[in-house]
Amino acid sequence: MRRTATRIHELNLYRRYFDLVAAGRKQIEVRVRYPHLEDLATGHTIRFRIKGTDETCDVRVTRVTRYDNFEALLDGEGPANINPTSSREQQLANIRSIYPPEKEALGALAIGIELLDAHTERRP
């Protein structure tokens, strides 16, 4: 029997979101529907990295849901699943500060994630 390797996607993440993922408190990652994420699927692994560091955190993709915009995504997923430390309004403002209107126009992805404990590395 032949085994298929799990697909690993490497994505950068801001420290405040990385810490929530590493603690298992963030269940949904928000991204723009960029072409390079089109093949992202359930069962794939995402290796989050804080840009400019060796810190990584691996998660398993549990589902991928497409939305027309960030407001629809927040309403459909529930803000507490995305960032349990911020209100819906704060999250919308934060997401839009990362992604300008022309990026949001591409659509949004809600990526269900599950922490893979054995693959979290923190280095000073």
d(CA 66, CA 20): 22
What CATH number does the domain containing 98 carry? 2.30.130.30
pTM for this model (two decimals): 0.89
User: Into how many domains does the chain fold?
Assistant: 1
Q: Is residue 29 part of a domain?
A: yes
Tokens 């990295």 correspond to 49
Domain residue limits at 57: 8-116
Q: Is residue 121 part of a domain?
A: no
Q: Is residue 99 part of a domain?
A: yes
Q: Is residue 30 part of a domain?
A: yes
d(CA 121, CA 87): 29
pLDDT in tens, 15-25: 999 999 999 99
pLDDT in tens, 89-106: 999 999 999 999 999 999
Q: Is residue 2 part of a domain?
A: no
Beta-carbon count within 10 A of 114 CB: 11
